[in-house]
């Protein structure tokens, strides 16, 4: 019977697991917990192919408990009931270790059905998810579990698994492999930190490569063709989408054009045109703001051009927008100002619009009252001292001039006007 190489190569001990040194290293917390033999409820959070299922299998072997595996994408409440029915029988003398993959696909009711048995220890839950558990896992489950984050593996960590996969395939085929220089390293770097992808690539290369009586020749060109776009970790509905969008904005805010282009490229390579267009417009207003007010107009023109062109040409105006924003002076003064004003409104800090500013209208007696509104254009410098805020918050200050050339020039101008020609 055919057995996938990725399953055959799966480690059976913690020492064989690649990467995850932060939790499985010599003094890693998860390693110490596993070695202690006392297994708590745990949630493994991290990208595909990072070792979550492998570690769960190793824990099951060491625990001596009956192991049940469910995948929440296909399992339902009936599957949980079947496991519960086995409790307190000869089949499960030490309780059940339940490995629940993709727990985020279980609804609240399904997750709740496990609570009683997790609480009394009859079921020890090890759940895994590729999404942030604090958003997708029911709070009562979270409160009874310890969360461990599995990180995407580096190419250096994946390389030993690639070389081991090559050796296993040589044994299967009964022929040595002749790898062109750089093949193993390319597979390790192109898998996007997913060991399963890397091992599958090795298996496919062996099945499709040129064979002679003496060897299997594996070419770098074939490895590159096989791994095209495989390093991409992107899901428009998942955490990775929001992580990349966040990284794009923070890179521009941090004035790093190279990082901005990197994250923009990741979005565009995934075929996502709308997200960067929207985010670049937000950045122009939120992070560049009044330090370079024309940025919004320029970025809007770039976005319009990108949407009209479509990919791949759209990359050019969007790259121009990203570099412009990353290298532009920064100010969030207007953003802070409107947030502060809205916070006051939410807290009920408001009042009647001053009579001088109200629209001219008749009072209840049918007689028009004098407004005493002073028309600024009738005064020198087009300004006259006048109260505009309601009496209750007449001294509120929301906007503080940013420390950039544009806003400081405006500040200097108004300081001269409002102080009668004298600098403040």
Under the banding of pLDDT at 50, 70 and 90, the label for residue 235 is low
* CATH number of the domain where residue 79 is located: 3.40.50.300
Q: Rounded to whole angstroms, how far apart are CA atoms 350 and 363?
A: 22
Is the domain of 108 the same as that of 29?
yes
Is the domain of 322 the same as that of 341?
no
Whether residue 226 is predicted with pLDDT greater than 90 in this model: the reply is: no
Whether residue 232 is predicted with pLDDT greater than 90 in this model: the reply is: no
**Contact criterion met (CB below 8 Å) for 406 and 413:** no
**Contact criterion met (CB below 8 Å) for 380 and 331:** no
Under the banding of pLDDT at 50, 70 and 90, the label for residue 228 is low
Is the domain of 259 the same as that of 307?
yes
Mean pLDDT of 31-39: 87
Q: Rounded to whole angstroms, how far apart are CA atoms 7 and 422?
A: 80
Total domains in the chain come to 4
User: Bigger pLDDT: 251 or 371?
Assistant: 251
DSSP annotation of 192 reads T
**pLDDT at residue number 193:** 81
**pLDDT at residue number 334:** 95
Q: Rounded to whole angstroms, how far apart are CA atoms 238 and 42?
A: 22
Query: Which is nearest to 24 in space by CA: 2, 46, 48, 1?
Result: 46
Q: Is residue 170 part of a domain?
A: yes
**pLDDT at residue number 6:** 79
Domain coverage including residue 271: 239-327
What average pLDDT does the chain have? Answer: 87
Is the domain of 67 the same as that of 131?
yes
Whether residue 406 is predicted with pLDDT greater than 90 in this model: the reply is: yes
State the pTM of this model: 0.58
**pLDDT at residue number 81:** 87
Give the highest mean pLDDT range of 54-63, 121-130, 210-219, 255-264: 255-264
* CATH number of the domain where residue 211 is located: 1.10.8.60
**pLDDT at residue number 210:** 86
**pLDDT at residue number 58:** 87
* CATH number of the domain where residue 312 is located: 1.20.272.10
Cα torsion through 287, 293, 297, 298, rounded to 10: -70
Q: Rounded to whole angstroms, how far apart are CA atoms 273 and 316?
A: 12
Mean pLDDT of 323-333: 96
Query: Which is nearest to 99 in space by CA: 61, 133, 125, 131?
Result: 125
Query: Which is nearest to 167 in space by CA: 9, 318, 402?
Result: 9
Residue-wise pLDDT tens digits, 125-182 = 999 988 888 888 888 899 899 999 998 888 888 899 899 999 999 988 888 999 999 9
Is the domain of 30 the same as that of 143?
yes
Is the domain of 344 the same as that of 402?
yes
**Contact criterion met (CB below 8 Å) for 66 and 94:** yes
User: Bigger pLDDT: 193 or 218?
Assistant: 218
Mean pLDDT of 220-248: 73
Domain boundary, last residue among 272, 292, 327: 327
Whether residue 347 is predicted with pLDDT greater than 70 in this model: the reply is: yes
**pLDDT at residue number 422:** 56
DSSP annotation of 154 reads P
Q: Is residue 37 part of a domain?
A: yes
Whether residue 62 is predicted with pLDDT greater than 60 in this model: the reply is: yes
Is the domain of 117 the same as that of 43?
yes
Whether residue 233 is predicted with pLDDT greater than 90 in this model: the reply is: no
Under the banding of pLDDT at 50, 70 and 90, the label for residue 365 is very low
Is the domain of 217 the same as that of 269?
no
- Give counts: helices (H), strands (E), the chain: 20, 8
């Amino acid at each position: 019977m055919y057995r996938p190489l990725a399953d055959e190569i799966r480690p059976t001990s913690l020492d064989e697991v690649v990467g995850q040194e932060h939790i499985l290293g010599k003094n890693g917390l998860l390693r110490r917990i596993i070695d202690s033999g006392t297994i708590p409820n745990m949630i493994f959070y991290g990208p595909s192919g990072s070792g979550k299922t492998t570690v769960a299998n190793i824990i099951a072997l060491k625990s001596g408990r009956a192991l049940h595996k469910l995948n929440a994408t296909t399992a339902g409440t009936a599957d949980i009931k079947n496991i519960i029915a086995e409790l307190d029988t000869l089949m499960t003398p030490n309780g059940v270790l339940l490995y629940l993959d993709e727990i985020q696909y279980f609804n609240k009711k399904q997750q709740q059905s496990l609570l009683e048995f997790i609480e009394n220890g009859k079921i020890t839950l090890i759940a895994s998810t590729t999404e942030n558990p604090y958003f997708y896992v029911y709070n009562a489950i979270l409160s009874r579990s310890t969360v461990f984050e599995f990180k995407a593996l580096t190419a250096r960590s994946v390389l030993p698994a690639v070389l081991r996969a090559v050796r296993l395939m040589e044994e299967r085929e009964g022929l040595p492999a002749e790898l062109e220089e750089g093949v193993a390293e390319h597979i390790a770097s192109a898998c996007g930190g997913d060991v399963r992808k890397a091992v599958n690539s090795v298996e496919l290369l062996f099945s499709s490569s040129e064979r002679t009586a003496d060897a299997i020749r594996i070419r770098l060109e074939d490895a590159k063709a096989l791994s095209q776009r495989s390093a991409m970790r992107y899901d428009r509905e998942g955490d990775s989408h929001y992580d990349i969008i966040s990284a794009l904005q923070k890179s521009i805010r941090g004035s790093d054009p190279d990082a901005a282009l990197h994250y923009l490229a990741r979005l565009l390579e995934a075929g996502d045109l709308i997200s960067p267009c929207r985010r670049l417009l937000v950045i122009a207003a939120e992070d560049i703001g009044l330090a370079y007010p024309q940025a919004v107009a320029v970025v809007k023109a770039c976005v319009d051009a990108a949407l009209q062109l479509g990919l791949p040409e759209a990359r050019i105006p969007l790259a121009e927008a990203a570099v412009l924003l990353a290298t532009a002076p920064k100010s969030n003064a207007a953003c802070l100002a409107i947030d502060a004003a809205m916070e006051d409104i939410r807290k009920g800090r408001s009042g009647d619009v001053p009579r001088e500013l109200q629209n001219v209208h008749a009072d209840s007696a049918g007689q028009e009252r004098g407004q005493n509104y002073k028309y600024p254009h009738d005064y020198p410098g087009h300004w006259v001292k006048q109260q505009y805020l309601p009496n209750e918050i007449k001294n509120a200050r929301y906007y503080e001039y940013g420390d950039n050339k544009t806003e400081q020039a405006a500040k200097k101008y108004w300081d001269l006007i409002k102080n009668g020609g004298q600098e403040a």
